Homo-oligomer: A and B are copies of this chain.
Amino acid sequence: MARTVVTLGELMMRLKPPGKLRLRQAQGFEICHGGAEANVAVSLAHLGVHSRFVTTLPEGELGTQALRFLRTHGVDTASIQRRPGRLGLYFMEEGADYRSGCVIYDRAGSVFAGMAAEDIDWDEAFENADWFHMSGITPALCNGTRILAETAINEARRRGIRISIDLNHRERLWSYGIGACDVMPAIIARADTLIAGRGDCLACLDMDGKGENGSPEWAASLSQKVLAAYPNLERFALTIRASASADEHDWQAFLDTRETQVFSKLYTMKHVVDRVGTGDAFCAGLIYALLERQPPQDAVNFGAAANCLKHSIAGDVNEVMVGEVTRLAGTTAFGRLRR
């Protein structure tokens, strides 16, 4: 495929006790790598898109291991820098039934947090790029990465590259004196596509829909507000999650292209394997479908099916191929053993 998607962000190592053990019970950790924008890049690579991930990784073994992760999945790593410093980490405790899982970030002072806009050769980073994707996490980390994020948006825009933003609000991260509300609106104002859930809209945009949470009325009214406030946006994708327990989630998306408003299929997942990265899987699925010029209903269904499949895959990234997503999006017979 000739399309090139670029994403920029932090890649962390994730450390998780096996199975349903709590962190305090752990005798060891399973590790994988992840980060919102890296997850999107990896998922796109699995979907056959040429995806390039821009970041800084530490010199030494832990940076090499992180780089190998990206190469394993076929991501273009040519624009990745290596600097002395530490790798961002996060510890994760998987929830179970009524017990919530949790994430403990240990990413302060990472080599990525010290990355500056000047470190990047933007021509190289955006070479042949059709699409640039970023999340609200990078500007949340520190003032330096905020500037980095804003510069990236500007550089992409200057080159006429399409831009998508996943709000991805993490309250705990915004701790350097500036709030999401101060930063994100200006970033959104330069994007083409916005992806967000209700909590993201409340925290970053101070907007909510009218009517019962999750209802068509509510979705339409929230979407209208967002699109009205940000006339640059071509489309707004609203993600809707409900969780009955750590193992059981409902997920659906709503896509408003100003012309059409469509809901995706609603997936009711009762045996969640790994909830992390499911939002990123939707972003990747949606970007893929939009690059493929799928009509809105197909595009949002493709993204939702990608999201649904991610719930069944261990790790942060969505290791599924186009055929698998399409098959799920088009069927109502689930879970047969293929042999």
Which residues of A are interface residues toward B (Cβ below 8 A)?
A: 15, 18-31, 60-62, 64-65, 68, 71-74, 86-87, 89, 91, 93, 95-106, 108-109, 170, 172, 243-249, 267, 269-273, 275-276, 308-309, 311-315, 319-320, 324, 328, 333-339
Contact B71 A244 (CB under 8 A): no
Task: Find chain B residues with CB under 8 A from A103 CB.
Answer: 337-339
Tell me the nearest residue of chain B to A320, going by C-beta: B99
| Residue pair B95, A337 in contact (C-beta under 8 Å) | yes
A15 to chain B, nearest CB (A): 7
Q: List, in ascending order, chain B residues with CB within 8 A of A308's CB.
A: 97-98
Q: Are A101 and B337 in contact (CB under 8 A)?
A: yes
Q: Residues of B contacting A74 with CB < 8 Å?
A: 71
A172 & B311 in contact (Cβ 8 Å cutoff): no
CA–CA, A311 and B335, complex, Å: 14
- Please give, as numbers and ranges, the residues of chain B lying within 8 Å of A72 by CB-CB distance: 68, 71-72
Contacts of A62 in B (CB 8 A): 23, 91, 104
Q: Which of B73, B96, B109 contacts A109 (CB 8 A)?
A: B109
Q: Residue of B at shortest CB range from A309? A: B99
Q: Which of A21, A93, A320, A336 has most chain B Cβ within 10 Å? A: A336
Q: Say whether, besides A172-B339, A245-B335, A335-B243, A312 and B99 are in contact (CB < 8 Å).
A: yes
Cross-chain pairs A/B with CB under 8 angstroms, 25 sampled: A24-B61, A24-B68, A25-B319, A26-B31, A27-B27, A27-B30, A28-B31, A61-B91, A61-B102, A68-B73, A71-B71, A71-B74, A87-B106, A89-B89, A97-B269, A97-B308, A97-B312, A98-B311, A99-B335, A109-B109, A244-B334, A245-B271, A245-B334, A275-B337, A276-B337
Residues of B within 8 A of A109 (CB): 108-109
Residue in B26, B64, B248, B313 whose beta carbon sits within 8 Å of that of A99 in the complex:
B313
Alpha-carbon separation in the docked complex, A276 to B338 (Å): 11
Contact between A28 and B25, CB atoms less than 8 A apart: no
**A73 CA / B71 CA spacing, docked (Å):** 8
A166 to chain B, nearest CB (A): 15
A300 to B16, CA, bound (A): 33
Inter-subunit contact B334/A65 (CB<8 Å): no
Q: Name A243's contact: one of B28, B98, B99, B333 (CB within 8 Å).
A: B333
Closest B residue to A85 by CB, please name it.
B108
A268 to chain B: closest CB distance in Å? Answer: 9
Q: How far is the CA of A168 from the CA of B42 in the complex (A)?
A: 38
Name the residue on B nearest A18 (C-beta). B28
Cα-based distance from A7 to B302 in the complex (angstroms): 40
Least CB separation from A249: chain B residue = B335
Chain B residue numbers with a CB within 8 Å of A334 are 97-98, 100, 243-246
Q: Could you tell me if B98 and A328 are in contact, using CB atoms closer than 8 angstroms? A: yes
Which of B28, B270, B339 makes the CB contact (< 8 A) with A102?
A: B339
CB distance from A51 to the nearest CB of B (A): 14
Across the A-B interface, the 3 shortest Cβ-Cβ residue pairs:
A103-B339, A246-B335, A96-B312
